Structure 1
């Protein structure tokens, strides 16, 4: 066997891209779930013409822990894990696969292609993860309702079964599928493409591959994504929080009329505080797990990132 053939890099298998994406997403998402909890509660505050419950993130945290207990911020945690099994596995696995297909030689794809790959992966992942996303919103928002209006779900399986039984089967489970899928497209098109582009730019000005590079690129991607995707996230949350059918245009009109246009960025600080570490942790785990798989499973000595 020749020297070049002996050290030839083994291609990263497609199934491993999905596995790495799913595990990375689950670990990162559960770690920042309390911030997602606060973001959702703030988005629901003042909806439906009701009085605002919280003046900000700290006020929300204080009132929620006092009324519902310290562990209330982990309500919906089982649904969070279930969502990532579907969502993170699909979005990161599909994105890295499409990105690899789009690359010509050593020349990385342009930003538009990266964004297109991100939106395509988000569309597929967001649609199939809609039932789990619905469960997260229901379980998080439940404690903020009057006792007679609460669903009182025990866990994610109970939530899925009851929604399916009480709200029209598959149709009920896919309530809010359109805004959920739109949000996933916006989030993935911005976060994945921005991360890849920011990483490429930072490496071009001399930053080396490693934790610092991954963290800087993740923060840039998280900031861009938070601003761009929050309005769609709020509309999705309002639709999924109740049993009633929600028309996105009616909800948009109601928010502008009753709460003002800046209400579309309600909860921006916890959303970014949640999204930034979520983005950082996800990409760090993806990069590390990919590196370890190359080294310890495939035996590659100089592995390249998939992102």
Structure 2
């Protein structure tokens, strides 16, 4: 192999395709945990009670409510954020070599903000489909699928309503992606420097475990506030993200900002692994299969 795996780069378009595919696979694998996390955040139930309530609605199928919205969210949000981040990271490393931690976090935050704005409508519908269970039957949205939900919001609330909660969504995405993508990239460098783990799946796996823990902890307060805002049902306008966080602390205590932490963390680890490993695996396969005299 004349070109190392680390030096090899995938084409720009592949960064987006791989990001979307890996996001869909991750969503399929972790969707039930996403459902439980959201229901804990809007109802303040324990994990056990949220799971029993969900199962009681329609059996195991209830854990996959909102799947169409979750998948479309991955095809918009994850495709954009991972494609943009990997492209910017490749460009930066080509011109400057290894980037420092602050730069990696900044690139992750930028990619997250851009991706979350694109995916905000699907995220809104996803939250509402999952949270419907906590409303009286006569007040539920009863969206049949993500397309039906987006159509209803556009007709009843207006087109711009699809971006309700866009600011907290983008704020959360900046934190999540800065922590996840930046920490993942930095963790790989640190693990390589130890000499115990080099390139390959074990390195990517270990880096994903580290980044998922940090990501979950720092993003949960904003995530809880975002979910409450997007599921806001009162006649008065929903408070902004800062006001919502302050209100949660006053009414429920500081610990409430980490509602749903356990399912979120259990979800975050495999989600990060499934999402982050495929792109570098493609590089690995490309290096092994391409002719020696053909540049990657």
- Taking structure 2 as the reference length, the TM-score comes to 0.91
Is 1:44 equivalent to 2:7 in the alignment?
no
Where do residues 146-295 of structure 1 align in structure 2 (5 Å cutoff)?
Answer: 146-169=136-159, 171-206=160-195, 207-244=197-234, 245-248=237-240, 249-293=242-286, 295=288
Distance between the aligned counterparts of 2:129 and 2:238, measured in 1?
18
Q: CA RMSD in A?
A: 2.3
Could you list the runs of 4 or more consecutive aligned residues of structure 1 that deviate by over 6 angstroms after TM superposition?
Answer: 300-304
Distance between the aligned counterparts of 1:228 and 1:105, measured in 2?
31
Task: Please report how far the alpha carbon of residue 284 of structure 1 lies from its aligned counterpart in structure 2 after TM superposition.
Answer: 2.0
Task: Please report how far the alpha carbon of residue 214 of structure 1 lies from its aligned counterpart in structure 2 after TM superposition.
Answer: 1.3
Equivalent residue number for residue 60 of structure 1: 50
Structure 2: tracts of 5 or more residues without a match: none
Equivalent residue number for residue 50 of structure 1: none
Which string of whole-angstrom CA distances, capped at 9 and with x for unpartnered residues, describes residues 70-123 of structure 1? Answer: 211101111111011111111111111111222256831000110111011011
Contact 1:167 1:243 survives alignment (8 Å): no
Distance between the aligned counterparts of 2:89 and 2:251, measured in 1?
43
Distance between the aligned counterparts of 1:147 and 1:83, measured in 2?
26
Distance between the aligned counterparts of 1:79 and 1:180, measured in 2?
15
Give 3-state SS (helix, strand or coil) of 2:199's partner.
Answer: coil
Once structures 1 and 2 are overlaid, which stretch shifts more, 97-106 or 129-138? 97-106
Equivalent residue number for residue 70 of structure 2: 80
Task: Please report how far the alpha carbon of residue 260 of structure 1 lies from its aligned counterpart in structure 2 after TM superposition.
Answer: 0.6
Structure 1: tracts of 5 or more residues without a match: 47-53
Q: How many residues align?
A: 288
Is 1:18 equivalent to 2:28 in the alignment?
no
Give 3-state SS (helix, strand or coil) of 1:69's partner.
Answer: helix
Distance between the aligned counterparts of 1:26 and 1:116, measured in 2?
25
Distance between the aligned counterparts of 1:247 and 1:299, measured in 2?
58
Q: 1:179 to 1:261 in 2, by over 3 A?
A: same
Distance between the aligned counterparts of 2:158 and 2:87, measured in 1?
36
Distance between the aligned counterparts of 1:188 and 1:269, measured in 2?
19
Task: Please report how far the alpha carbon of residue 281 of structure 1 lies from its aligned counterpart in structure 2 after TM superposition.
Answer: 1.2
Equivalent residue number for residue 59 of structure 2: 69
Q: 1:104 to 1:43 in 2, by over 3 A?
A: same
Task: Please report how far the alpha carbon of residue 285 of structure 1 lies from its aligned counterpart in structure 2 after TM superposition.
Answer: 2.2
Once structures 1 and 2 are overlaid, which stretch shifts more, 35-44 or 139-148? 139-148
Contact 1:294 1:303 survives alignment (8 Å): no
Contact 2:109 2:175 survives alignment (8 Å): yes
Q: 1:65 to 1:10 in 2, by over 3 A?
A: closer
Equivalent residue number for residue 49 of structure 1: none
Once structures 1 and 2 are overlaid, which stretch shifts more, 232-241 or 12-21? 12-21
Which string of whole-angstrom CA distances, capped at 9 and with x for unpartnered residues, describes residues 195-220 of structure 1? Answer: 00111111111212222221111010
Distance between the aligned counterparts of 2:222 and 2:179, measured in 1?
13
Distance between the aligned counterparts of 1:299 and 1:39, measured in 2?
47
